[in-house]
């Protein structure tokens, strides 16, 4: 378009891991929220092994942005081309590619290229996109490098699990309790503070203080993306406790013909170097996994049972 020029950026990092390992990390977009810090949530819409189409929520320059993206994967060349079908402002177009180049049997180079335009090439908009691209790209490459270089232990450092409860009550009331996280202090025992900002409907930024039975209060921050019609809330901690490198999850409410199931799902990446400082000298990865599973599981069961009581009490009151 007249007045628009193509801006290009390139970032690269050398990784002490096989090229196939590095490519595998960038190929599966559903795992990006766990391994790519700016990524909050990926809602995959279509995938056939080569073409990947998804809606994505990310943090950029301190704000939450969302766009519809399309990728073409070439596993043999270890290249992934992408473009935003519906870009987030102020960019009017954005695309690029990931490439992984083998540098030997146990090393590789990961490169990320971007190309973008802004309307009428407005300098302030170009600067905003350049700043977001620079910050996010450097953070993404750094974390992907760290994860890839721990590839022999990565399965042990990640865990996913869920808790659920059955109830007889309106699914909408269960969702309302989960959505109303600002009201949890005083209702949920382990939540001391919950400051919620919702500048855009359905996008909550939550700053919380929580406490466990045998530990000090911890401050965290999270972004929650709410889907009220689907009775789902996905979330990612953007400031985590020391023991966790990353923590993502989802609250979902599933009605059926006999009642309602409320589910809490969690995925966690442990911060390996923090295990002993947090849990004590000699603590193994397996013991750290058990600790996190028990702590988050207990907290989730507490919230789910309170949501159950909230919904079923309403029925009894009526």
- Residue 79: give its domain's CATH number: 3.30.530.20
For 176, the enclosing helix (H) or strand (E) is: helix 171-179
169 and 311 both lie in a single domain = yes
- 3-class DSSP assignment, residue 211: coil
236 and 110 both lie in a single domain = no
User: Is there a domain that residue 56 lies in?
Assistant: yes
222 and 298 both lie in a single domain = yes
User: Is there a domain that residue 1 lies in?
Assistant: no
221 and 313 both lie in a single domain = yes
User: Is there a domain that residue 2 lies in?
Assistant: no
Query: How many CA atoms lie less than 13 Å away from 89 in the CB half-sphere?
Result: 4
**CB under 8 Å to 25, separation ≥6 — which residues?**
31, 35, 144, 147, 148
Number of separate domains in the chain: 2
The pLDDT assigned to 128 comes to 95
For 125, the enclosing helix (H) or strand (E) is: helix 123-149
119 and 190 both lie in a single domain = no
- The CA distances from residue 272 to 12, 150, 160, 243, 287, in Å, are 25, 10, 17, 8, 12
Q: Given 149, 170, 186, which residue is the final one in a domain?
A: 149
Decide if 95 contacts 81 (C-beta within 8 A). yes
Q: What is the pLDDT along the chain (318 residues), one digit of tens a residue?
A: 445 789 999 999 999 999 999 999 999 999 999 999 999 999 999 999 999 999 999 999 999 999 999 999 999 999 999 999 988 889 999 999 999 999 999 999 999 999 999 998 899 999 999 999 999 999 999 999 999 999 999 999 999 999 999 999 999 999 999 999 999 999 999 999 999 999 899 999 999 999 987 778 999 999 999 999 999 999 999 999 999 999 999 999 999 999 999 999 999 999 999 999 999 999 999 999 999 999 999 999 999 999 999 999 976 554
Maximal C-alpha separation, the chain: 69
Decide if 192 contacts 299 (C-beta within 8 A). no
The pLDDT assigned to 273 comes to 97
Of 130, 113, 12, give the one whose Cα is nearest residue 61.
130
Decide if 36 contacts 144 (C-beta within 8 A). yes
The pLDDT assigned to 15 comes to 98
Cα(203)–Cα(222) distance, integer angstroms? 11
Of 51, 111, 124, give the one whose Cα is nearest residue 83.
51
Range of 292's domain?
Answer: 156-317
Q: Given 149, 164, 195, which residue is the final one in a domain?
A: 149
Q: What's the token pair of residue 2?
A: 């007249």
The pLDDT assigned to 316 comes to 57
249 and 290 both lie in a single domain = yes
């Amino acid at each position: 378009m007249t007045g628009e020029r193509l801006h290009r950026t390139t970032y690269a990092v050398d990784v002490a891991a096989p090229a196939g390992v590095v490519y595998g990390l960038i190929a599966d977009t559903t795992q990006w929220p766990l391994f790519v810090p700016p990524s909050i949530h990926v809602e995959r819409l279509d995938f056939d092994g080569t073409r990947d189409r998804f809606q994505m929520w990310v943090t950029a320059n301190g704000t939450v942005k969302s766009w519809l993206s399309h990728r073409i994967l070439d596993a043999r060349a270890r290249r992934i081309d992408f473009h935003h079908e519906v870009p987030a402002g102020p960019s009017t177009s954005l695309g690029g590619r990931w490439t992984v180049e083998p540098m030997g049997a146990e090393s590789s180079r990961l490169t990320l290229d971007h190309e973008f335009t802004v309307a009428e090439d407005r300098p302030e908009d170009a600067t905003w996109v350049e700043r977001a691209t620079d910050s996010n790209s450097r953070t993404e490459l750094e974390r992907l490098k760290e994860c890839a270089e721990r590839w022999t232990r990565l399965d042990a450092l990640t865990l996913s699990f869920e808790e659920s409860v059955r109830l007889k009550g309106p699914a909408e009331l269960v969702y309302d309790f989960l959505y109303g996280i600002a009201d949890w202090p005083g209702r949920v025992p382990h939540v001391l503070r919950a400051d919620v900002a919702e500048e855009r409907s359905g996008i909550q930024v939550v700053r919380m203080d929580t406490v466990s039975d045998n530990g000090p209060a911890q401050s965290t921050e999270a972004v929650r993306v709410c889907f009220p019609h689907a009775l789902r809330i996905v979330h990612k901690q953007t400031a985590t406790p020391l023991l966790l490198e990353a923590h993502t999850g989802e609250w979902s409410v599933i009605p059926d013909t006999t009642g309602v199931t409320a589910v809490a799902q969690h995925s966690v990446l442990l911060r390996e170097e923090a295990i002993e400082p947090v849990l004590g000298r000699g603590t193994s990865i397996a013991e750290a996994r058990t600790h996190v599973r028990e702590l988050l599981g207990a907290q989730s069961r507490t919230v789910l049972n309170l949501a159950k009581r909230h919904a079923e009490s309403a029925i009894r009151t009526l």
